Amino acid sequence: MEQKNIFVGLDIGTTKIVALIGSLNEYGKLKIIGIGKSKSLGVHRGVVNNITQTIQSIQAAVNEAELSSSEKIDKVVVGIAGQHIRSLQHSDYITRINSDTVINNDDLDKLINQVHKLVMLPGEEIIHVLPQDYKVDGQAEIKEPIGMFGGRLEANFHVVVGQVSSIKNIARCIKSAGIDFEGITLEPIASSDAVLSQEEKEAGVALIDIGGGTTDLAIFKDGIIRHTSVIPFGGNVITDDIKEGCSIIEKQAELLKIKFGSAWPGENKENEIVSIPGLRGRDPKEITLKNLSKIIHARVVEIIEQVYIEIKNYGHEEQKKKLIAGIVLTGGGSQLKHLKQLVEYITGMDTRLGHPSEHLAGNNSIDISSPMYATAVGLVMNSTKIRKNTINNEESFEENSSEPNDEKKQYKRKNFNS
């Protein structure tokens, strides 16, 4: 089957692995047609630490997605997170040979490829090179230089860097699960594609994606990504705290968090008590909801304060860099009761919950409006972009190519892998 119209995102998270299959409808809107979920074993704080278990979990999610959509998955775009991710600002320039011709895509590609050759620390490689703004012959603050005349093209870049070994481990797991690797995307960038509107990106917004193992941050202003960061804490540390604080097993702690948990201790009365069955013949444990929310509150405050430090590092307090649209919360951890109020209280910024159904076709038969699918939906959207660029590059290759016809066809076949 021709794979042109099937787009797959694979979110390898710390708590769950999600495979989503999407296709474009007649209006060019993305529609999710298949979903597969499995418990993630072998991933810790966003990083693979057990190859065999991760492969099994990926296969389970992929098989379920294939069954639910009756499509075959052969290549995926995958997300990357983890505490090894760092980002830096970098400026670079090229001098154009002929300044009498206008700047085109090739010039921009040349400049971006030059940044990709930057020497990183040993064991690191560049994942994304994201242009911020351009300068042409010293004229600053240009958003779109294509079509302009100029001899010197300069740009500021946001460069995202990760550990080579972590990227290779993810690639190996996917290959071993019998799937091709179409691309890799930083998870906060994927989530932001799924839940943020263009207006929010223009006005200035911070996306906080609270996953199981990590909390990811992406900051936009004037429509451009300005800052990214991965904080190595997420919903799982809250569960651990409940487990320790109440002396119960992990499964019970997770259930307590989801069913009765709240980030705001003030609202629980002293006499509200939940009874937890004891282990094999032991007496049940009684836990007050007030204590439960105190445990949760302490850890959530810590996570939000770390994120807020990052927002301040970006420069949110300067007038020009102010994030007018405030904060958007997404990810599984964002479903905690009263979290929105707590975030507003700590940061003083407007906050809303982000649902990934924003940019999808209206008649989705599969309900993926839960914030926990934000990254996976963003990865599917990313796959559509990658495929579009591949097709555009091929077309320009064919226009510029003077090779015999059958050579060209071969090139096209190789690229699609269909």
Task: Evaluate if residue 416 carries a pLDDT over 90.
Answer: no
Q: What is the predicted pLDDT for the residue at 1?
A: 37
**Tens of pLDDT, residues 224-261:** 999 999 999 999 999 999 999 998 999 999 999 999 99
**Tens of pLDDT, residues 75-108:** 999 999 988 999 999 999 999 998 899 999 999 9
Query: Residue 403 — pLDDT band, cuts 50, 70, 90?
Result: very low
Q: What is the predicted pLDDT for the residue at 398?
A: 63
Query: Residue 406 — pLDDT band, cuts 50, 70, 90?
Result: very low
Query: Residue 357 — pLDDT band, cuts 50, 70, 90?
Result: confident
Task: Evaluate if residue 413 carries a pLDDT over 90.
Answer: no
Mean of all residue pLDDT scores within the chain = 89
Give the domain range for residue 290. 235-300
In a domain, 413, yes or no: no
Cα 134 from Cα 187, distance rounded (Å):
26
Cα 321 from Cα 220, distance rounded (Å):
10
Q: What is the predicted pLDDT for the residue at 15?
A: 93
In a domain, 271, yes or no: yes
Cα 206 from Cα 219, distance rounded (Å):
4
The residue-averaged pLDDT of 329-337 equals: 95
The residue-averaged pLDDT of 322-327 equals: 96
In a domain, 88, yes or no: no
- Lookup result for tokens 């090739």: 106
As given in the structure block, the two tokens for residue 205 are: 């917004």
**Top-confidence range, 242-246, 356-360, 367-371:** 242-246
Q: What is the predicted pLDDT for the residue at 278?
A: 83
Helix H, strand E, coil C: the string for the chain is CCCCCCEEEEEECCCEEEEEEEEECCCCCEEEEEEEEEECCCEECCEECCHHHHHHHHHHHHHHHHHHHCCCCCEEEEEECCCCCEEEEEEEEEECCCCCCECCHHHHHHHHHHHHCCCCCCCEEEEEEEEEEEEECCEEEECCCCCCECCEEEEEEEEEEEEHHHHHHHHHHHHHCCCEEEEEEEHHHHHHHHHCCHHHHHHCEEEEEECCCCEEEEEEECCEEEEEEEECCCHHHHHHHHHHHHCCCHHHHHHHHHHHCECCHHHCCCCCEEEECCCCCCCCEEEEHHHHHHHHHHHHHHHHHHHHHHHHHHCCCCHHHCCCCCEEEECHHHHCECHHHHHHHHHCCCEEECCCCCCECCCCCCCCCCHHHHHHHHHHHHHHHHHHHHHHHHHHHHHHCCCCHHHHHHHHHHHHCC
Task: Evaluate if residue 153 carries a pLDDT over 70.
Answer: yes
Is the pTM higher than 0.85? The answer reads: yes
**Tens of pLDDT, residues 190-219:** 999 999 999 999 999 999 999 999 999 999
Task: Evaluate if residue 410 carries a pLDDT over 60.
Answer: no
Residue 61 C-alpha from the chain's centroid: 18
User: For the domain that residue 245 is a member of, what is the CATH number?
Assistant: 3.30.420.40
Q: What is the predicted pLDDT for the residue at 418?
A: 34
Can you state the angle between helices 289-314 and 235-246, rounded to 10 degrees?
150
Q: For residue 305, what are the contacts with CB-CB under 8 A and spacing of at least 6?
A: 346
In a domain, 51, yes or no: no
Query: Residue 397 — pLDDT band, cuts 50, 70, 90?
Result: low
Cα 237 from Cα 396, distance rounded (Å):
50
Q: Which of 5-19, 74-88, 90-104, 401-415 has the lowest mean pLDDT?
A: 401-415
The residue-averaged pLDDT of 168-188 equals: 94
Q: What is the predicted pLDDT for the residue at 400?
A: 59
Task: Evaluate if residue 113 carries a pLDDT over 90.
Answer: yes
Q: Rg of the Cα trace of the chain?
A: 23
**Structural domains of the chain, count:** 1
CA-based end-to-end distance of the chain: 7
Q: Give me the percent of the chain exceeding a pLDDT of 90.
A: 76
Q: What is the predicted pLDDT for the residue at 40?
A: 94
Q: What is the predicted pLDDT for the residue at 389?
A: 80
In a domain, 223, yes or no: no
**Tens of pLDDT, residues 25-66:** 888 888 999 999 999 999 998 899 999 999 999 999 999 999
In a domain, 257, yes or no: yes
Q: What is the predicted pLDDT for the residue at 396?
A: 67
The residue-averaged pLDDT of 356-382 equals: 88
**Per DSSP, what are the bridge partners of residue 21?**
8, 34
Task: Evaluate if residue 319 carries a pLDDT over 70.
Answer: yes
The residue-averaged pLDDT of 325-345 equals: 96
Q: What is the predicted pLDDT for the residue at 364?
A: 73
Q: What is the predicted pLDDT for the residue at 402?
A: 46
In a domain, 255, yes or no: yes
Residue 310 C-alpha from the chain's centroid: 17
Q: What is the predicted pLDDT for the residue at 411?
A: 36
- Lookup result for tokens 């008649």: 363
The residue-averaged pLDDT of 114-137 equals: 94
Task: Evaluate if residue 362 carries a pLDDT over 90.
Answer: no
Backbone angles phi, psi at 43, to 5 degrees: -125, 130
Q: What angle do CA 121, 127, 132 make, to 5 degrees?
A: 100
